[in-house]
Amino acid sequence: MILETIVTTQDSEGRTHIAPMGIHAEAQGFLIMPFKPSTTLQNLLETKTAVINYCDDVRVFAGCLTGRKNWPLTDARVISGKRLTNALAHCEVELVKVEDDDIRPKLTCKSLLTVNHQAFAGFNRAQFAVLEAAILISRLEMLPWEKVESEIAYLRIGLEKTAGEREWEAWEWLMTALDNFKRQAGL
Ligand SMILES: Cc1cc2nc3c(=O)[nH]c(=O)nc-3n(C[C@H](O)[C@H](O)[C@H](O)COP(=O)(O)O)c2cc1C
C-alpha cells in the first residue's frame, strides 16, 4: 500500500528538508522512492535517517509544492532530526538498504519508533482533492494539458462540497501555481 506522507530529512549540517512523498508500507518497513535529483534522497544517503509524518493538514502538501516550506517543526525522539509539529503521528526511520537507479532509487527503511499525537478525524473528500491536485501539479511537465484540466474540474466538485478553511487555502495555492504554469507555457 502507498501512503501519502510528508517526509522530513536533515543534511549533515542539520538543515531540515520537508517533502511530500508517497511511501510504500511493507511488512518489513517502508520503501521511499524519490525521483532523481532529490534533496530527500541526498539527505537520506548522508544521514541515514528520516521522519515519516502522517498529516491531515493538506496545506503542507500544497505548500511544499508552491514554495511554502516553512512549517513548524519539533525535535524527533530517537534520531537527530525533526518532525512536523502538526503531524497526527510520526515514525522515525533508519535507512537499511539502497537499490540505486538512474531515475528512481529504492530506499528501504526500518521503523525505529512510532508516536501518535492526535486522533484521526475521519475521511474528507476535499483533502483527497487537494492531494490529487498536488500530484498533478508536481507532474505538469509530463502530462497532457487537457488531462490536467479535466481532472482538476472533477476534483473541484468534491472540494466545493466538503472543504474547510485549510483545504480552500491549499487549493488556492495550487490553482495559482496552475495558472502561472498555463501562462508561462502559453496554453
Ligand atoms: C502526494 C504527493 C506524493 C509525492 N510522492 C513522491 C514520490 O514518491 N517521489 C518523489 O520523488 N516525489 C514525490 N512527490 C513530489 C515531490 O514532493 C516533489 O517533487 C519534491 O520536490 C521532491 O523533491 P525533493 O526531495 O528534492 O524535495 C509527491 C508529491 C505529492 C504532492
Ligand 1 contacts CB of residue 134 (under 6 A): yes
Q: Which atom of ligand 1 is nearest to the CA of 9?
A: 25
**β-bridge partners, 74:** 83
| Interior angle at CA 83, CA 125 and CA 162, nearest 5 | 10
User: What does the mean pLDDT of the chain come to?
Assistant: 97
> For residue 186, is it left (φ>0), alpha (ψ between -120 and 50) or beta?
left
How much is the average pLDDT of 102-119?
Answer: 97
pLDDT band at 187 (very low <50, low <70, confident <90, very high): confident
Ligand 1 centroid distance, CA of 20 (Å)? 5
Q: Which residue is associated with the grid cell 537527530?
A: 80
* 64 Cα–ligand 1 center, Å: 9
The confidence score (pLDDT) of residue 117 equals: 98
User: What is the pTM (predicted TM-score) of this model?
Assistant: 0.96
- Report the pLDDT value the prediction gives residue 28, as an integer from 0 to 100: 76
Share of the chain above pLDDT 90, in %: 95
Residue nearest to atom 13 of ligand 1 (CA): 21
- pLDDT, residue 186, reads 87
The length of the chain in residues reads 187
Q: What's the rounded mean pLDDT across residues 144-164?
A: 97
In the reported structure, the alpha carbon of residue 93 is separated from the centroid of ligand 1 by a whole-number distance in angstroms of: 18
